[in-house]
Amino acid sequence: EISLRIGDLQECNNEQIHLSGAVQGHGALMMFSADERIQAISKNVAAVLDLGQRNILGAKLSHVLPEEFVQNILALQKQHPWRSKGMYLTTPIGKSKFDVYMFSSGNYFGLEFEPLRESAEFFESQNVLQDFMAEVKEARTVVDLTSVACRYIRQVAGIDRVMMYRFLPPSWHGEVIAEDRVMGSHSFLYHRFPSSDIPKPARDLYLRNKVRLITDSQGHISAIEPKENPETGKVWDLSDSRLRSVSPIHIEYLKNMGVAGSMSFAVIVKGSLWGLIACHSSKPFTMTNAHRAICCAIADVVSSQATLMEDLEGHLLRSSFDARLRKIIEMTLISKDILGGLLKQHALLMETFNATGVAICNAQTQDISGLVPAGSLLKDLYAKIIDEMKKTEKEVFAINSLTTIMPDIASKLKMACGVLAVRIHDKEDSLLMIFRPEQVRMITWGGDPVKSLEKKNFSGQINPRASFESWQEKIENQSIPWSSHELDGVSFMKEVLFDSALVKKGAIDMLTE
């Protein structure tokens, strides 16, 4: 859909972000085995937990951590089936209290410790979920729903900006569809961002680990030692970790955006990543696990409600399309001459397919209605499409920009940028062609997407773009694309009207079932 050439994605897709070998330095990590022995640590563990000088690698957990806490986590492990799910706990160690997150990595377990800022705010935010649910009930559209979610997450997190970033498959570019931000800050609402900003490995990880918190993009990191999982001999898999250190490219990206703390929650619809609730803080930022859990719950509500709303929107759209299509078929079947009868339905055809022109052509004749290319152009287009259909052995042809098949004349055909054609067998090589006019659109990108990925000449190092200033792209010579139900609809119509195996009555019965 997008006319711009956008970076070499492969370069971004190669980074194995789950094997970063380090954690964010404000917290610390311990990996332990089933025999409760500590098998790996982040180098800062003694400093963060105030453990003094002793070497804890190989030690039993209960020699390092409070006995009661160790009993607790061992009991939890037995109670809960471990897959990739993590678990929250808190524990006092020495003078401080810690938020602890437990996850698994192969046959080992990871404990991540983050200093806990005691906060009374948590109790205030207890009501947040109730209030949020009350507002969600009133939301009628996906934009309403996600705007409410952004507002509540910003309230819980107390940060500068929260956005609903929605992916646009199959390109996987994305768009900010809702936003809540502190007054006076830059807005990214309705801005589009290229897929290379969040490469496939990062997107895939969100299906497994739905939260990502980057406390300080410019903060230090702490390496894990030993580097490898002793059982596999491979670098520790941190897919389910919450403290995993951040990809250097993304660190630079955040710096260029003026973001210190970043947090994102996955919104998953029908098993596929639908969007991210993305949060920005201009200062380093952290949040208790309890607050994170509230934000996760809000994101989960968005996931389930967005599924329902999209199903409903899709259903309504489809049922009104189907009703019109049925009427076209019924009206056409009344007439003895199916071809002529179909063309008589030109107004309804245009309304149903959101089009402005219809033609039924073969090599000799052209029956037209509405805005269609003039005689010889239509003839050329007809020949091109028949050719294309023969090559691809397909009966339906759809395009939303003629530039791809007729580059020389496409700019003259503004009234017929999009064509949906179906081969009808009544006469040899007859085509029903439905035309849509050009729809000029402006897309606002968050920075020039062509610069989304720059390579330094000498080192070959990849860099994200430096500027996120709004950048306008004008999309010309394109119509609104044909939807999958329109493609299905047109081939269904062809089958019913023109495939000899279907007798008229049978077809009508099928439709009215």
* Contacts to ligand BLA by CB under 6 A: 11-12, 15, 17, 163, 165, 174, 176, 188, 193, 196-199, 202, 212, 214, 246-247, 249-250, 253, 262, 264, 276, 278, 446, 452-453, 462, 464
Nearer to ligand BLA, 168 or 377 (CB): 168
**Least Å from the CB of residue 453 to ligand BLA:** 4
**Nearest residue (CB) to ligand BLA, 253 versus 492:** 253
Question: Which CB atom, from 39 or from 262, has the smaller least distance to ligand BLA?
Answer: 262
In the complex, what is the shortest distance from the CB of residue 293 to ligand BLA, in angstroms, rounded to a whole number? 17
Q: How far apart are the first and last CA of the chain?
A: 37
Alpha carbons 286 and 291: distance in angstroms, whole number: 10
Distance, in Å, from the CA atom of 279 to the CA atom of 164, rounded to the nearest integer, reads: 9
* Beta carbon nearer to ligand BLA, 86 or 446: 446
Nearer to ligand BLA, 165 or 274 (CB): 165
- The region that residue 192 occupies, defined by phi over 0 for left and psi between -120 and 50 for alpha, beta otherwise, is beta
How many whole angstroms separate alpha carbon 299 and alpha carbon 304? 9
Cβ burial of 189 (10 Å; 0-12, 13-18, 19+) is: middle
Nearer to ligand BLA, 274 or 397 (CB): 274
Chain residue at closest Cβ approach to ligand BLA:
12
Contact at 8 Å (CB) between 147 and 189? no
Q: Residue holding tokens 């996600």?
A: 146
- Which residue has 């071809």 as its token pair? 339
Nearest approach in angstroms of CB 80 to ligand BLA is 26
- 49 vs 462, which CB is nearer to ligand BLA? 462
Specify whether the CB–CB gap between 269 and 80 falls below 8 A: no
Least separation, in Å, of the C-beta of 245 and ligand BLA?
A: 7
Indicate the length of the chain as a whole number: 513
Query: What is the nearest approach in angstroms of ligand BLA to the Cβ of residue 154?
Result: 14
Helix, strand or coil for residue 137? helix
* DSSP single-letter state for residue 114: E
Cβ 143 to ligand BLA, closest distance in Å?
16
Put the strands of the sheet holding 470-475 in their side by side order.
Answer: 211-214, 261-269, 272-281, 161-168, 173-181, 192-193, 441-446, 470-475
Least Å from the CB of residue 6 to ligand BLA: 10
Distance CA 356, CA 369 (A): 9
Our CB check for ligand BLA shows the closer of 214 and 381 to be: 214
Secondary structure letter of residue 88 according to DSSP: E
- Nearest residue (CB) to ligand BLA, 12 versus 38: 12
Backbone Cα Rg of the chain: 29
Q: What are the contacts of 251-258 at 24+ separation with CB within 8 A?
A: 251/217, 251/218, 252/463, 252/464, 253/197, 253/464, 254/214, 254/217, 255/217, 255/218, 256/464, 256/465, 256/466, 256/467, 256/468, 257/468, 258/282
For the bound state, the minimum distance from the C-beta of residue 262 to ligand BLA, rounded and expressed in Å, comes to: 4
Minimum CB distance to ligand BLA smaller for 373 or for 446: 446
C-alpha–C-alpha distance, residues 23 and 112, integer Å: 9
List the structure tokens of 47.
Answer: 């400093």
Q: Which is nearer to ligand BLA, 289 or 452 (CB)?
A: 452
Q: Which two tokens stand for residue 116?
A: 């806990």
Q: Which two tokens stand for residue 271?
A: 């098993």
Residue number with CB closer to ligand BLA (60 or 451): 451
CB of 3 to ligand BLA, least distance (A): 20
Helix (H, G, I), strand (E, B) or coil at 60: strand
In 67-189, alpha helices (H) = 67-79, 121-138, 142-157
Number of other CB atoms surrounding residue 298 within 10 Å: 23
In angstroms, rounded to a whole number, what is the distance separating the alpha carbons of residues 305 and 56?
Answer: 47
Strand partners, 436: 418
Give min distance, CB of 282 to ligand BLA, in A: 13
Minimum CB distance to ligand BLA, residue 354 (Å): 31
Of 11 and 426, nearer to ligand BLA (C-beta) is: 11
- Min dist CB 179 to ligand BLA, Å, is 9
Q: State in angstroms the smallest separation of the CB of 194 from ligand BLA.
A: 8
Residue 20 CA to chain centroid, in angstroms?
Answer: 24
